[in-house]
Amino acid sequence: MKKNYFLPEKTRLLLGEEKFKSYQKGLIFPYLFLGTLMICMAIVEMLKILQTPTFIAIYITLCIIPIIMFIVNNKKNTGRYWFWVKDI
């Protein structure tokens, strides 16, 4: 669909058109995982089956997974972990 709502223009400039498409494809699973996690944790919160400290610990632990996936995607497509380290 060639949409880039959540990606800054700097990303497109750094990567070029071919790598940008690969970068976008690499973001599908982390965004999907993060959205599914939020929906599931909202259901768990409404059902009140976990105590608050346990709920927060599980939520933080599971949120680390998509963050790592974002970092790995950056490293794979740009050769560095963060975009904001060097300016263009």
Domain that holds residue 62: 33-77
Q: How far apart are CA 34 and CA 40, in angstroms?
A: 10
Token pair 């949409």 is found at: 3
CA atoms lying within 13 Å on the CB side of residue 71 = 7
Instruction: Please report whether residue 17 resides in a domain.
Output: no
Instruction: Please report whether residue 53 resides in a domain.
Output: yes
Q: Work out the percent of the chain whose per-residue pLDDT is above 90.
A: 45
- Which of the pair, 69 or 6, is modelled with greater confidence? 69
Residue type (1 letter), 15: L
Instruction: Please report whether residue 57 resides in a domain.
Output: yes
pLDDT of residue 2: 62
What pTM does this model have?
0.74
Instruction: Please report whether residue 70 resides in a domain.
Output: yes
Instruction: Please report whether residue 62 resides in a domain.
Output: yes
Q: How far apart are CA 56 and CA 54, in angstroms?
A: 6
Instruction: Please report whether residue 40 resides in a domain.
Output: yes
